[in-house]
């Protein structure tokens, strides 16, 4: 009967409870279905999730056909996690998506050029992160679906325009609107004020810091955020960056980027990965090598037991012990179920 629910599942269930719209509910239910361990003990729960999905869908359809519902946009999650580009009109969001991914958004020298969400996949090492370009945050575009999409993202790139003299006032306007629509931008899993070390890998920070599984600083319901100071190549950008740092110091990690020259575009990919606060774990069979091109992407704080449930369905119940090859372990060190995994660990499960 023990369901052995994973942290991923519990997180999705929390999102379901907090969902404000049918889209948020459906996204959370889909994730619950994807992350629930698939064994006999969870059969009833899975049936219940399916029932709830059907109910949300029919209710949403009824609203749509009643003709009064506004347009809603939802982007299904793909890859290691979903992040969104948010910011004032003309800040440089679409051009960033074009620089980071293979997507081809409209980039224009006038505001409000983006009207609907456009996702792209951003490659980082052996994973892909989904990044969604959004219409600007402004009174004219402030429709509930936009904020719903932001709230359910795993991370946000808050884009500030270093080419604009209105940098601070438009930033304030953006933040006021976000607040009005209940979007809270948190710090996420990134290490302390990290603009000095964009290339550092997450291998050494926070040893044991995430005991208990709570991502540091990311209060429940807030979207982990990086402040991206865009157009770093523009005349006067340096002075504006200083002002921005003063205003936002300690609130979010800041990274100055230029899509035009490519400065810090790769560093931004690394920061986007760090923002997700996930680890990559590989599995191998006894006597074999692991395939390092196909990681399991799991929340930081995931234990051997949780990973087994994700990897091998009924493995969770039968698991006796595991061996780990990882940076902080002896080669093939034997560990118990409660052992917390690290990014890059190779896992050999023994039932
Ligand atoms: N110099 C310079 N210009 C940039 C950079 N990135 C974007 N721009 C220019 O800034 C303008 C706006 O860029 P977009 O990417 O369309 O801005 P946006 O935030 O998507 O705008 P909306 O969708 O209207 O909110 C365009 O003229 C871009 O060419 C950059 O890194 N350097
Ligand atoms: Mg745009």
Q: Say if residue 151 is in the same domain as residue 260.
A: yes
Asked if the structure places residue 77 within a domain, the reply is: no
Residue 159's alpha-carbon distances to 41, 168, 182, 184, 325, in angstroms, are 45, 12, 19, 15, 39
Atom 21 in ligand 1: residue holding the nearest Cα: 90
Q: Say if residue 127 is in the same domain as residue 244.
A: yes
State the pLDDT at residue 70. 63
* Distance in Å, CA 230 to ligand 1 centroid: 9
Check if 233 has its Cβ closer than 6 Å to any atom of ligand 1. Answer: yes
Check if 339 has its Cβ closer than 6 Å to any atom of ligand 1. Answer: no
- Domain span including residue 48: 7-65
Residue 54's alpha-carbon distances to 25, 49, 57, in angstroms, are 11, 9, 5
Q: Say if residue 215 is in the same domain as residue 307.
A: no
Q: Say if residue 183 is in the same domain as residue 265.
A: yes
The overall average pLDDT reported for the chain is 86
Is 201 in contact with 271 (CB distance < 8 Å)? no
- Other Cβ atoms closer than 10 A to 192: 11
In this prediction, residue 313 has a pLDDT band, given cuts at 50, 70 and 90, of confident
Q: Say if residue 247 is in the same domain as residue 294.
A: no
Q: 113-159: per-residue pLDDT in tens?
A: 999 999 999 999 999 999 999 999 998 888 899 999 999 999 999 99
Q: Are strands 278-283 and 346-350 parallel, antiparallel or unpaired?
A: parallel
Q: 29-58: per-residue pLDDT in tens?
A: 999 999 998 888 899 999 999 999 999 888
Q: Say if residue 322 is in the same domain as residue 195.
A: no
Non-local (6+) Cβ contacts of 284 within 8 A are 290, 291, 346, 347, 348
Q: Say if residue 24 is in the same domain as residue 118.
A: no
In this prediction, residue 18 has a pLDDT band, given cuts at 50, 70 and 90, of confident
Asked if the structure places residue 330 within a domain, the reply is: yes
Q: Say if residue 138 is in the same domain as residue 217.
A: yes
Q: 85-105: per-residue pLDDT in tens?
A: 999 999 999 999 999 999 999
Check if 113 has its Cβ closer than 6 Å to any atom of ligand 1. Answer: yes
Here the CATH number for the domain that contains residue 305 is 3.10.20.30
Asked if the structure places residue 314 within a domain, the reply is: yes
Q: Say if residue 224 is in the same domain as residue 339.
A: no
Q: Which ligand is nearest to the CA of 231?
A: 1
Question: Backbone phi, then psi, for 348, in 5-degree steps?
Answer: -120, 115
Atom 27 in ligand 1: residue holding the nearest Cα: 109
Asked if the structure places residue 123 within a domain, the reply is: yes
pLDDT at residue 69 is higher than 80: no
Which of 276, 296, 313 is the last residue in one of the domains? 276
Asked if the structure places residue 51 within a domain, the reply is: yes
Q: Say if residue 13 is in the same domain as residue 128.
A: no
Which of 276, 301, 330 is the last residue in one of the domains? 276
- What's this model's pTM, rounded to 2 decimal places? 0.78
Query: Quick one: average pLDDT of 333-338?
Result: 92
In the chain, pLDDT over 90 holds for what percent of residues?
65
Q: Say if residue 117 is in the same domain as residue 138.
A: yes
In this prediction, residue 217 has a pLDDT band, given cuts at 50, 70 and 90, of very low
Q: Say if residue 298 is in the same domain as residue 256.
A: no
Is 326 in contact with 295 (CB distance < 8 Å)? no
Which of 276, 295, 326 is the last residue in one of the domains? 276
Domain count, the chain: 3
Check if 92 has its Cβ closer than 6 Å to any atom of ligand 1. Answer: yes
């Amino acid at each position: 009967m023990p369901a052995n629910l994973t942290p991923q599942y519990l997180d999705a269930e929390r999102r379901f409870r907090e969902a404000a719209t049918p889209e948020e509910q459906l996204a959370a239910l889909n994730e619950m279905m994807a992350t629930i361990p698939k064994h006999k003990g969870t059969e009833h729960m899975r049936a219940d999730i399916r029932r709830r999905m059907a109910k949300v869908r029919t209710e949403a359809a009824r609203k749509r056909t009643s003709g009064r519902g506004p347009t809603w946009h939802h982007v299904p999650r793909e890859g290691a996690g979903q992040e969104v580009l948010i910011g004032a009109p003309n800040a440089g969001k679409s051009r960033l998506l074009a620089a980071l991914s293979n997507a081809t958004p409209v980039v224009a020298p006038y505001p409000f050029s983006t009207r609907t969400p456009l996702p792209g996949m951003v490659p980082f090492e052996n994973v892909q992160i989904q990044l969604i370009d959004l219409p600007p945050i402004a009174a004219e575009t402030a429709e509930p679906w936009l904020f719903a999409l932001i709230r359910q993202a795993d991370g946000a790139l808050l884009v500030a325009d270093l080419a604009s003299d209105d940098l601070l006032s438009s930033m304030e306007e953006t933040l006021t609107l976000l607040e009005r629509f209940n979007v809270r931008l948190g710090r996420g899993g990134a290490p302390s004020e990290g603009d000095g070390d964009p290339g550092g890998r997450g291998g050494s920070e926070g040893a044991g810091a995430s005991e208990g599984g709570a991502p540091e600083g990311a209060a429940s319901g807030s979207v982990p955020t990086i402040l991206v100071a865009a157009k770093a190549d523009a005349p006067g950008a340096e002075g504006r960056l200083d002002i921005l740092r003063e205003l936002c110091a300690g609130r979010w990690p800041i990274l100055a980027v230029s899509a035009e020259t490519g400065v810090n575009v790769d560093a931004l990919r690394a920061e986007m990965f760090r923002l997700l606060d996930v680890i990559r774990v590989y599995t191998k069979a006894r006597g074999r090598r692991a395939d390092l091109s196909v990681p399991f992407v799991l929340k930081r704080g995931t234990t051997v037991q949780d990973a087994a449930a994700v990897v091998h369905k009924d493995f969770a119940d039968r698991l006796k012990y595991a061996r780990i090859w990882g940076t902080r372990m002896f080669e093939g060190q034997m560990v118990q179920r409660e052992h917390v995994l690290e990014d890059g660990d190779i896992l050999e499960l023994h039932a």
